[in-house]
Structure 1
Amino acid sequence: MNHTKTGLMKIAAIQLSVIENDPEAMVKKAEKAIRSCPDADLVILPEIWQTGFMCFDRYEADAQTLEDPLITRLKILAKEMNVMLHTGSFVEKDKDRLYNTSVLVSADGDILAVYRKIHLFGFQSQETQILTPGDTPVVVDTPFGYLGMATCFDLRFPELFRAMVDQGATMFLVCSAWPYPRLEHWIMLNRVRALENQCHLVCANCCGMNNNIQFVGHSMVIDPWGTVLAGAGDEEAIITTSMDPAETRIARQTFPGLASRKPFLNPERTGE
């Protein structure tokens, strides 16, 4: 049963640049940024920030399991800060396979959800050659509503976000390492995924240079009407804002667009 809190929720999206070839320095940098958000209810980090998305030659060496130090440290920090923490993503090692994995940690330091990126990026990228794609949409019930998790290139696949809506999603959390020159795509896709699904969307993107590729930054918090509540430029930043999780329900009642969906276009959908 959903048990959404009433009142405003404080959100912090951390936009980081990558320190190449120094994972420990990146972890310390992320920890410092998280500690600078003492009043946040939810903090989110970008995609493969510890290694750098474009540092494909380091994926194997930097890969971690869910029990290794990276996630363990972030779980301890989430509990210490009393904050729900989206860890951003990291290269996860599971037996003989590697995944692009993100973890949602509760304010008690417990793992609430684990999402493996479904749509790997193969354009001028080695992600599809090195990693194994996930195969399961992830939506988790939290005190702030049902949160759906996605990663970067997933934004180009609206069917994933509709699948999460069908699982009850009221907010999307998107970690990313989105590069130039596709800035306008980034801005549009985040806003449209929020608007068409009448969900809040919080995204944290990388910025700066990584292996001679520049990321676009422009992390955002977007409401169910597609309005950007807070956003960053292309430099390191922490964007903070407050929003009411109940606004998703209000938006869907005010303009019941999702209620007009046709079940024959999605025969597997239940609850008609």
Structure 2
Amino acid sequence: MRIASVQLEAGPNAEDNVAKVEARIRDVADSGADLVVLPEIWNLGYFAFDEYAAGAEPIDGPTMSHLQSLADELDLYLHTGSIVEADGDDLYNTSGLVSPEGELLDTYRKIHTYGYGSREQELLTNGKRVVTIDTVFGTVGLVTCYDLRFPELFRALVDQGADLFLVTSAWPIPRLEHWLMLNRMRAVENQVFLAASNLVGQNQGVELAGHSLVVDPWATPLANAGFHERTVVADVDLDMVAEARDDFPALADRQFDLSYDL
């Protein structure tokens, strides 16, 4: 399968951001992409906290509906990146996976909202559900940005059968090395493929790290977008997940009968 990770700068106008994303998706569809991954809160810009309430949408609102139509038209899987989802009185950081028929297969509400230099914890409600989705290629697990620092979530995804992690993110540049390391670690310790899409450029005075990437089960980067607006593409064979686990059976050596209490 061919995975494309879209890296872009989120501007102040949501309509312009939607148009930019649509153009990127159409371009990569022409190159034969089977799955496209988008960044975190790309339509508003992650750090546009004052816009969250006004820019929030229900899950069947215009942004998700537009992405569903695109996936259907272009016959590809589309990881929607995340939007600010409005559900009653609560707001969530919500991503989803759309099928090539335009069906929203499932959604994931970010479990670990972020507080360091961010108002996300103040404004948004934490998700409560670990989400994996079966596709024709394999089982994918959805995670968002700060989730990368919590390895227990990724173990839960693997225990639900995930062989590909999809990461949507708005990771700032001061912790770029953490970004590069954590994506590779989450892949290698769980022996899965990982595709991550990050914002880049400036958003509300914050510089984003870019470096959207695709990583294989041995922690080898197959593609990296660097510091610029671009889309990176990698061809992956998910059969390599089973091969890696057979060759180096670390997951099979887990000791479930030990509580690890010290």
Q: 2:141 is matched with which residue?
A: 148
Quickly say closer, same or farther: Cα 1:266–1:84, change in 2 above 3 A.
Answer: farther
Q: 2:176 is matched with which residue?
A: 183
Aligned pairs, number:
258
CA drift at 1:17: 0.2
1:34 equivalenced with 2:29 (yes/no): no
CA distance in 2, matches of 1:182, 1:23: 26
CA distance in 2, matches of 1:238, 1:224: 21
Q: For each residue in 1:45-94, what CA deviation from the matched residue of structure 2 results, as whole angstroms up to 9, or x when unmatched?
A: 00000001100000001101111111111000001010000000000000
CA distance in 1, matches of 2:99, 2:114: 29
CA distance in 2, matches of 1:201, 1:156: 15
Letter in 1 for 2:72: K
Q: 1:224 is matched with which residue?
A: 217
Q: 1:24 is matched with which residue?
A: 15
CA drift at 1:266: 6.5
Matched ranges for 1:66-145 at <5 A: 66-145=59-138
CA distance in 2, matches of 1:49, 1:108: 23
Identity of aligned residues (%): 51
Q: For each residue in 1:140-180, what CA deviation from the matched residue of structure 2 results, as whole angstroms up to 9, or x when unmatched?
A: 11111110000000000000000001111101000000002
Q: 1:11 is matched with which residue?
A: 3
Q: Which runs of 4+ in 1 moved over 4 A?
A: none
CA distance in 2, matches of 1:266, 1:24: 51
CA drift at 1:264: 2.8
Aligned to 1:36, the other structure's residue is in SS state helix
CA drift at 1:241: 1.3
Letter in 2 for 1:37: V
CA distance in 2, matches of 1:26, 1:264: 50
Coordinate RMSD, CA, aligned: 1.0
TM-score, normalized by length of structure 1? Answer: 0.94
TM-score, normalized by length of structure 2? Answer: 0.97
Q: For each residue in 1:238-260, what CA deviation from the matched residue of structure 2 results, as whole angstroms up to 9, or x when unmatched?
A: 00110101111111111111000
CA distance in 1, matches of 2:249, 2:159: 15
